[in-house]
Amino acid sequence: MSTPEVLTPSSSSATKPPLWPLAALGGLLVWAYMPMLRVFADKWLYDPQYSHGFLVPIFSAYLLRRAWQAGPLIPSPMPVLGYGLLIVAFGMRIVAGSILFHQLDAASLLLAFVAMSLVVGGRPLLQRTGPAIGFLVFMVPLPYELERNVGQPLKVAATASSTYLLQTLGQPAIQDGNLILIDEVRLGVVDACSGLKMLVTFAAFSVGAVLLMERSRFEKLMVLLGIIPIAIVSNVLRITATGLSYLIVSNKSAEFLHDVYGYLMMLMGLALLALEVWVLKKLVLDPDSSGIAGSKFQFRT
């Protein structure tokens, strides 16, 4: 006599995330928000420090693909909460349109994506799509007030740090406000040199790396905590290299090198990120590979 098969809830009702309803609703939302996305696209195209914006939707789409391939889930639609959030999102969009606040409009788009996930699959689906939705934050340019209020302290810190580094290298550098005076050279640290926008770009790469890393929570936390210091160090190195260039080569060549250093700054940040990940890999031992239980991670000695 054969034993009857017992169907558990997970085996009987688990399905893959619904693809076509999500794709259709997502496409409709993108079409509705196209005017805002055009404004952002112009910013990505003409502001080099926001050029990463073109990569953000592509990476989010990759995260959605990974969520689709993660296997079946048990949908638990929450239409009441989902439709309620959708109404809130539409209200936010009305306010954003009346005051021309594109960042608020972008927030309403992300909230609409959350509402869509809740309506179709509830919390289980939102857990799958949440990383892709959250990563879209990095496609939104910073508001002007935030750039001014946060960028100014960063600019002062970058000026002071770069002056100190130039003095350490033997140059007669003197700080005068946001100016660095080196003999006859007057190097101005303008708003674009504060490093704030580059910090956002580097944060996008770091968060993307954390989402792809198969590491302990401690290592991921360390990578996230390293975003600000690595971005600041990279910016100080760029300003310092620019100051040395004005002393060594002609002004025209130095201006060209200034632009080159802007691109090399991100490579420097990524190199420091890779170094940080490598150091963490050497310091933190996976308990599964060590055969030692009782803790989530341990340090190598």
Give the count of beta carbons closer than 10 Å to the beta carbon of residue 71.
11
Q: Is 299 helix (H, G, I), strand (E, B) or coil?
A: strand
E-strand spans in 143-292?
A: 173-176, 179-182, 185-188, 284-285
Query: Rounded to an integer, what is the distance from CA 90 to the centroid of its chain?
Result: 25
Hey, what are 140's tokens? 């939104």
Q: pLDDT value at position 92?
A: 94
Q: Does position 1 have pLDDT exceeding 50, yes or no?
A: no
Q: Does position 7 have pLDDT exceeding 60, yes or no?
A: no
Q: pLDDT value at position 26?
A: 78
3-state secondary structure 25-52: HHHHHHHHCHHHHHHHHHHHHHCHHHHH
Q: Is 286 helix (H, G, I), strand (E, B) or coil?
A: coil
d(CA 150, CA 192): 12
Residues making up the chain, counted from first to last: 301
CA-nearest of 235, 227, 238, 220 to 280 is: 220
Confidence category of residue 6, pLDDT binned at 50, 70, 90 = very low
Per-residue pLDDT, averaged over 39-49, amounts to 83
Q: Tens digit of pLDDT for each residue in 61-112?
A: 999 888 888 778 888 888 899 999 999 999 999 999 888 899 999 999 999 9
Contact 60, 136 (CB under 8 A): yes
Contact 283, 292 (CB under 8 A): no
Per-residue pLDDT, averaged over 207-222, amounts to 87
Cα(first)–Cα(last) distance of the chain, in Å?
58
Residue 39: C-alpha distances to residues 60, 203, 239, 280 (Å): 20, 22, 30, 40
d(CA 151, CA 178): 12
Which one has a higher pLDDT value, 240 or 196?
A: 240
Q: pLDDT value at position 16?
A: 65
Q: List 182's β-bridge partners, or say none.
A: 173, 185
Q: What is the mean pLDDT of the chain?
A: 81
Q: Does position 242 have pLDDT exceeding 90, yes or no?
A: no
Q: Tens digit of pLDDT for each residue in 161-210?
A: 899 999 998 888 888 888 888 877 888 777 666 777 778 888 888 898 89
Per-residue pLDDT, averaged over 9-35, amounts to 72
Strands 185-188 and 284-285: unpaired
Question: pTM of the entire structure?
Answer: 0.76
Percent of the chain surpassing pLDDT 90: 17
Contact 200, 182 (CB under 8 A): no
Which one has a higher pLDDT value, 281 or 9?
A: 281
23-32, 99-108, 204-213, 269-278: range with lowest mean pLDDT: 23-32
